[in-house]
Structure formats: C-alpha cells, structure tokens
Amino acid sequence: MGQIYDFIYNLLPYLGMWLHGFLRSLGLSEEAVFLVVGLIKAFLLANFGLIGFAILTYVERKIVARFQDRLGPNVAGPYGILQPVADGIKLLTKEDTMPAGADRWVYNLAPLIIATCALAPLVVIPFGPGAIGADLHIGVLYALAVGAGALVGVLMAGWGSNNKYALLGAFRAVAQLISYEIPSVLSVVIVVMIAGTMSTVGIVQAQDVPYLFVLPVAALVFLLSGVAEVGRTPFDLLEAESEIVAGFHIEYSGMKFALVFLGEFVHALVVSALFAVLFLGGWRGPWLPPYLWMLIKMSVGIFLFFWLRATLPRIRIDQMLNLNWKFLTPLMILNLIGVALVDKGLRAAGVSGGMWAAGLFLFNMAMLIGALALPGYLGRRARMAALAGEAEAEAVEAPVAAH
C-alpha cells in the first residue's frame, strides 16, 4: 500500500528516470538524451496548454451558466463534453476572409505571435520539486517578459487588419495591457524580495507559509491586474461586443480567431498558475501528490476568473485607467516600501516563522483597510461638497423663481 502511494506521489520523477534510462539504453549520448527529454517535456507542456484551453472553454461556459441559473452546453455529447471538439471542427472549416488591403504578412503572423507568447510562460511553472520545463534563474522575469511580447502581436493584428475599429481596439487594448502590467510587476517584485530569488522553484521552496497570508495586498493586486491583463470581465473592454465589436480581432475568422482566443485563455491559465506558484505555495501541501496540488491551486485562480466574469459588469476605460494609475500603482509602491521596512524591523527584533508571517499579515491588512477607506472618505467628502453646492444653487434659484 505504501509502495503504491509512493509511486503515485513521485509519478513525474519516476517517469523522468525511466525515460532517461530507456534512452540511454538505446545508446544515445548524454547530450542527445537531454535534447530528446527536453523535446518531450516541451511537447507535453505545449499540449497541456492547448488541451487546457479546450477544457477551459467548456468549463467556463458550464460554470458561468450555472451562475446564471441555466444549464450551459449540453447538446454535443453527454453533458456537452464534446462541445470543444464541436467548436474546433467548426473553426477548422470556416473560411479565411482576409480583408482587402490588409498587410498579408503582418495580418497572418499576428495571431501566431499572440498565441505563442501566451503559451511561453508555461515552461517555468513547476509541477513538483523537479518537474519543471526549465528552472531558469530569472524564472518570473522570463514569464513577465514573454507575456509582454503579446502586446506587439496585438498591435500587429490591429494594424494589419486595415480596419478602423481594429486599430482603435488595438490601441485601447494596448493602453489597458501596459497600464496593468506595472502593479503586476510590482507585486511580483514584493514576492521576489521576500523569497530572495527569481526562480519559480526557489519561490515555492521559500513558502513555508503561503504568501497569500503574508502578503495579502500583493496577492490581491496581482490577481486584479491579472484579470485586467487577460482582458476578462470586468475589464473586457478589449472585446466589448456592444461597443467596438470584438476590438482588434474583428477581421479574423476561423483558426486565426481561435489562436487569438487561445491566447486569451492560456494567458488566464498562466496567470492562475503564476498566482498558485507565487502566493498559494505551488506544489506544497500534505498528503496529495505535488502535481495534483498544483492543478487544484490553478483551478482556484481559474474559478475566480469565471466567478468575476459571471458577476460583475464591465467598467469604462477611463475608470479602469484611473483605478490603475491613481490607486493600484501608488498602493503597490507604498506597500513595497512598507513591507521592506516592516520585514527588516521584524528580523532585527529576532522574530521568525509564524510570528513573522503574522506581523507582515497585520501590516498588510492595516494598509489594505487604510487604502480602501481613503477613497471612500474622499468620495464622501466630494459628494457632500457637491450636495452642498446643489443646495446652495437651489436656494439661490428659488427666491429668483418666486418673483
């Protein structure tokens, strides 16, 4: 019994060792074995992204439907399980309507770039102590950097479509994406600061207490900016169907549209995976095998995305940009300075372990409450001032009208 548990728990390392031994027995040199194993890892990761995308489209529609008290897709196969297959077949047989005057190379390359840059961060997500595509020293920096590469793809799509709405949509999309990158990067910097390394494996190993409880403000802001980066509701202005008709990917049909769509969903998957690695403790957890814990924690983030989509309305672009530049960015900068000072103070006082975590948690909660109370207080003052101004204007008008 213990042997079966041990086998399931260490499934991925055992598979790796068996593969290594098998390839060696075929007579390949060490470098060739490394290349082949690397190729297999890359293939598995890419398929994880693609199949995850297919499953997510189905799961999202089901979950959002349940939130809205309806059933969701249930026609294609039992419980609608074959819906992604049906969608795939439909997209594969759609015609490619390239608009006249579109720049052929730019128009065709853009979806590929968006999808590849969305899939790229998966290689640094750890599914276990040794189960990672490539343990880079700059793990999280790599994930952020290649995510930023998708912006170029968006601009290429908008420009290459030879369509006013596509171009306008691309500008607004890029404005939103670059704005929300700053709080995201700053929250990652806070995690790197506390963990002392940029490697994803190192960050997971440093989390004796999951950073969600140590740095709640950073976690919240990372999730919020993640939702905005992916372009999901309530920040889904990029494809506001009623406003600018699907934004920068208006002119894409069939598989190219599928690639852009894939980019968005895989980006959501990657943000959930990063959230799990940075704040939920990655693969760590009692009793269950590490890869299972990783999948469970990723599902938490993904479920949060669906929950937000089903519940909240869309916010305007100026509200969204104000939220970012006037609230989130100053909050993250002050939080970074505060966490650094409090951490140094706690360490100088010799506190460690649970007490240290509790101290940082209390500081972050105090900052969060203060940050949420301040706009509320300012808003109330502004409303009171506006009401007083109105009452004054009425008082001036009434005697005038009475004449």
Partner 1 sequence: MLSAYAVVALYLLLSLALLGATLLLWWALRPKKPNPLKLEAYECGVQTVGDTWVQFRAQYYIFALIFVLFDVEAVFLFPWAVAYNQLGLYAVIEMALFLLLLLSGLLYAWRKGALEWV
Partner 2 sequence: MTLIQAVFILFAALTLGAGLMTVLSRHLFHAVLYLILSLVGVAGLFILLEAEFLAGVQVLIYIGAISILIIFAVMLTRGMARNPGPPLNNQSLAAAVIAGLFFILLAPVLAGFPWPTAASGVPADAIEALGRSLVDPNQFALPFELASVMILAALIGAIFIAREKR
108 C-beta neighbours (distance < 10 Å), count: 16
User: Among 122, 155, 238, 332, which residue sits at the site for partner 2 (rule: CB under 8 A)?
Assistant: 155
| Residue range at the interface with partner 2 (CB under 8 A); choices 5-13, 44-52, 136-144, 244-252 | 136-144
Find the shortest distance in angstroms from Cβ 360 to partner 2: 21
Cα–Cα distance, 258 to 88 (Å, whole number): 8
CA distance 88 to 326: 42
At 286 the three-state DSSP class reads coil
Query: With binding defined as CB under 8 A, does residue 178 bind partner 2?
Result: yes
Which of 195, 237, 217, 170 is CA-nearest to residue 329?
Answer: 217
For the chain, give the longest Cα–Cα distance: 106
92: burial class by Cβ within 10 Å (0-12, 13-18, 19+)?
Answer: exposed
Cα–Cα distance measured from residue 403 to residue 399, given in angstroms and rounded to the nearest whole number: 7
Per-residue CA distances from 197 to 69, 120, 136 (Å): 45, 21, 11
**Nearer of residues 99 and 234 to partner 2, judged by Cβ:** 99
Structure tokens at 24: 């060696």
Q: Which of 24, 94, 137, 326 binds partner 2 (CB under 8 A)?
A: 137
Q: If binding is defined by CB under 8 A, does position 228 make contact with partner 2?
A: no
Residue 145 interacting partner from partner 2, partner 1, none (CB closer than 5 to 8 Å by kind):
partner 2
Among 8, 39, 89, 138, binds partner 2 (CB under 8 A): 138
Cβ closest to partner 2, residue 135 vs residue 243: 135
Which of 37, 102, 112, 174 binds partner 2 (CB under 8 A)? It is 174
Residues 179-198 within binding reach of partner 2 (CB under 8 A): 181, 198
Q: How far apart are CA 106 and CA 393, in angstroms?
A: 58
5: partner contacted, choices partner 2, partner 1, none (Cβ within 5-8 A by kind):
none
We find the least distance from the C-beta atom of residue 48 to partner 1, in angstroms, to be: 11
Residue 103 in contact with partner 2, rule: CB under 8 A: yes
Contact 118, 270 (CB under 8 A): yes
Reduced to 3 states, what is the DSSP secondary structure of residue 139? helix
With H, G, I as helix, E, B as strand and everything else as coil, classify residue 146: helix
Is residue 149 near partner 2 by the rule CB under 8 A?
A: yes
Q: Which of residues 251-310 bind partner 2 (CB under 8 A)?
A: none
Measured from the CB of residue 360, what is the shortest distance to partner 1 in angstroms?
14
Is residue 152 within the footprint of partner 2 (CB under 8 A)?
yes
Please choose which of partner 2, partner 1, none residue 106 contacts, taking the beta carbon within 5 to 8 angstroms, the exact cut-off set by kind.
Answer: partner 2
Query: Binder to partner 2 among 12, 36, 40, 148 (CB under 8 A)?
Result: 148
Among partner 1, partner 2, none, partner that 152 touches (CB below 5 to 8 angstroms by kind):
partner 2
Q: Compare residues 78 and 101 and give the one whose CB is closer to partner 1.
A: 101
Question: What angle do helix axes 11-25 and 290-311 make, rounded to 10 degrees?
Answer: 120
Residue 58 phi, psi dihedral angles, 5° rounding: -70, -45
Beta-carbon count within 10 A of 382 CB: 10
CA angle 33, 35, 39 (to 5 degrees): 115
| 112 part of the interface to partner 2, by CB under 8 A | no
Q: Which does 325 bind (CB under 5 to 8 A by kind): partner 2, partner 1, none?
A: partner 1
Binding site for partner 2 (CB under 8 A): 103, 106, 136-138, 141-142, 144-146, 148-149, 151-152, 155-156, 159, 171, 174, 178, 181, 198
